[in-house]
A and B are shown apart, each in its own frame.
Chain A
Amino acid sequence: MTRYLPWVAGAALVALPFVYRSPYPLHILIVILIWSFAYTSWSVMGRFGLVSLGHGGFMGVGAYVTALVWNYGHLSPWVGVPLAVAASAALAALVAYPCFRFRITGHYFALVTLALSGIVLQVITATRDYTGGSLGYTPERYQGGSSLWAFQFSDKTTWYLIALVVWAAGLFIWNRVDRSMLRYALEAISEDEDAAAATGVHVTAEKLKITVLSATMTALAGALYCQYQMFISPDTVSGISVSLQMVFAVVVGGIYVSLGPTIGAVITILLAEILRIGFGTRAVGWDNLVYGVLLILFIIFLPKGIVGSLMDLSRRWRWTSS
C-alpha cells in the first residue's frame, strides 16, 4: 500500500488544477511548490551540517541574471536560466572551494556564506541603474502574454504543472542523494573530518559536489520565482533574511526527511497568508513574530522538525505494538 502512495498522491496533485481551478488557492499552491523546491535545495546540503546562509545569494543570482539577460540581452530564459544557474554554481564553487580546502566549518562556514549573501544583496542594491536597486525589478512582458519562448504564461494551470514537475524533481534529487555513496561520505565528514579523510573520503571534493548541486537547485528556484511572479526585489529573493527564512522552514518541517522542507514551506506560507487575510495590514510583522517563537521552540524541543518527529513517533509506536 505504502509503495503506491507516492504515485497516487502524485496523480492527485497533477489532476488537481483540472478539477479545481480557482485562481487564488492555485496561486498559493504554486508559491508553496516553488519555495518547497528552494527549501529542498537548501536541505540537500544543510542536513550534513553544512549550514549555509548564502543561499539567499544563490537565489538572488538565479532570479536577477535570468531577468537581466531577458531585458538587456533579449535572450530567451531558455538561455538565461542555464546562464543564471551556471553563474550561481560558479559563485558557489568560488567561495566554497577555499572554505573546504582551508577547513572552515561549523559557524565559521555559516558566517562566510553570510558575507556572501551580503555581497549579492549589496551588489544588487549598488547597481540600481540596471537592477532597480531595492525598489525591485520586472522582466519585460512578452507582447502576447503567454509564450513558451519567453517562458511566460498567463495561465495558472500551466505554472502549477511546471512548479509541480520542478518540485518533484527536487524530491527525486533529494532521494537520490539519500541513497548515494555521497551521503555516507558526507555523514562521515560531518561526524569527523579527519577520520573520514583517513578512511579514504575526499573531503573537499565531496563537500564541493553537494554545495554546487545545492546552489544550482537554489538558482533554478530563484529563476522560476522570477518568471512566475514577474517581479523580484532584493528583499524577496536575496540577502540574509531569505537565507534565514530557508533555514527556518527546513528546521520546522524536518531537516532529515525528504518531505520536511515541503511541510515547512506549507506551514510558513499558509501561516503568513492566514495572518494577512485575517488581520490585513495590521498583521505586518505578526507572521515573523510567530515564526521566531516557533523556530526557537523547535530547535529546543523538536530539533528533528515536525515530519521527523512524527516519523520517530510512528516508528516507536510500531515497535511497542509488535
Chain B
Amino acid sequence: MINGLLLGGVLALLSLGLNLVFGVIDVVWICYAELIMLGMYGMYFLYTVYHAPIVLAAAVCIVSVGVLGLVLHTLVIAPLLGAAPINQLLATGGVLFFLQSAATVLFGIEFKNLGLRLPVLKVAGMFVSYSRLLAFGAALIAMVLVYLLLTRTYTGTAIRAIAQDRQIMPLMGVDTRRIYLITSGLGGALAGLAACLLVLQYDVHPFVGLTFGPITFLICVLGSLGNFGGGFVAAFVFAEIISVGGLYLDLEWGYVFAFAFFIVMMFVRPEGLMARRS
C-alpha cells in the first residue's frame, strides 16, 4: 500500500507537465515520456560522466528539457495547430520514433544508472524508499506551484482562459503564441523535473519511455484533462492498482488491470474521474 502510494507520487509527477500541455494546448504529446528519457540521460551524463554537482545537474536538466519543449512546439506543433487533432498526435508519434532512435544511436542500448543509491528509510517497521519519498514530495510541491501560477498570476489566468476557448482569446488581445510557448516550456521543464527524480530510482535506456509513457496519458485522461487534482487522484488510483496487482500476481498483471480499469472508466465516466456533471 505504502509503496503504491509512493509510486503514485512518481506517476503524478510524470503526468503533471503532460496535463498542462494536454489541457491547455489540447495537443497530445505522445513523445512526452521520451522528453523525460532525454532528461534522464542528461542527468546521467552531467552527474556520472562529468561529475557535476547533483543540484546543478538537475537545474541544467530542467532548463534544457524546458527548452526542448519550446523547440518541439515551434517546429512540430505550431505548424499543425489548425490541423486535425489526430495529425498532431501522429506528428508527435514521429517525434517519439525520432527521439527514441536518436538516443539509441547516440547513447547505445545499454542500461545506465546514476550509480547513486539513496538510503532506505525505516519508518515504523516499514521500509520506504528515500528516492520515492523525494519524488512524492517534489510532485506535491510542483503541483502547488503550478496551481498558484495558474490562479494567482496574469499569465496563469491567460493560460486557463485559452484552455477554455482558444478562438476567442486572440480577439481579447492575448498573444496566444506567447502563451503556447510559455505552456510548452513549462510542460518541458516539468518533464525535466520528473526526469531528475526518476533517474534516482530507475535505470535509463532508450526505450524507457515506452514503459511509463502510455500510463502517463491514461492518468491525464482519467483525471480529466487540465485538472491537476484529478490527475493526482488518478495517478494514485493507478499506482494502487499496479502495485496491489503486482503484489498478488506479476507486475505485468498490475499493468493489465490498470489498463482494463482505464478502458472501463472511460465508458463509465468519459469526462474523467473528477469531472463535474454539467
Residues of A within 8 A of B (CB): 49, 51, 95, 98-99, 101-104, 106-108, 110-112, 114-116, 118-119, 122-123, 125-126, 240-241, 244, 247-248, 251, 284-289, 291-296, 299-300, 303
Contact = CB atoms under 8 A, between A and B. Distances in A.
B71 to A, nearest CB: 12
Nearest to A297: B94
A111 B222 CA distance: 11
A45 B263 CA distance: 20
Contact of A115 (B84, B94, B99, B218): B218
A123 B117 CA distance: 32
B255 interface: yes
B210 A241 contact: yes
B91 interface: yes
A198 to B, nearest CB: 22
B94 A295 contact: yes
Contact of B85 (A107, A292, A296): A107
Contacts of B253: 122, 126
A282 B210 CA distance: 23
B94 A294 contact: yes
Contacts of B90: 51, 247-248, 251, 295, 299
Nearest to B84: A49
A108 B265 CA distance: 12
Nearest to A106: B85
Given A285-B105, A300-B91, A51 B263 contact: no
Contact of B252 (A51, A103, A110, A125): A125
Given A285-B101, A292-B95, 15 more contacts: A51-B90, A102-B270, A104-B267, A115-B214, A115-B262, A122-B253, A285-B104, A288-B97, A288-B101, A291-B94, A291-B97, A292-B98, A292-B99, A299-B87, A299-B90
A123 B94 contact: no
A293 B93 CA distance: 10
Interface in B78-95: 79-80, 83-87, 89-91, 93-95
Interface residues of B, number: 45
B35 to A, nearest CB: 14
A296 B91 contact: yes
A248 B214 contact: no
Contacts of A299: 80, 83, 87, 90-91, 94
Nearest to B28: A107
Given A126-B252, A289-B105, A291-B97, A119 B87 contact: no
Interface of B: 28, 76, 79-80, 83-87, 89-91, 93-105, 109, 206, 210, 214, 217-218, 221, 249-250, 252-253, 255-256, 259-260, 262-263, 266-267, 270
Contacts of A292: 94-101
Contacts of B267: 98-99, 101-102, 104
A289 B93 contact: no
A51 B83 CA distance: 15
Tell which of A103, A106, A248, A292 has the most Cβ of chain B within 10 Å: A292
A93 B128 CA distance: 43
Given A110-B86, A285-B101, A289-B101, A296 B76 contact: yes
Contacts of A106: 85-86
A300 B252 contact: no
Nearest to A295: B94
Contacts of A295: 90-91, 93-94, 97
A285 B206 CA distance: 10
Given A107-B85, A115-B259, A289-B97, A284 B250 contact: no
Tell which of A49, A102, A241, A288 has the most Cβ of chain B within 10 Å: A288
Contacts of A107: 28, 85-86, 89
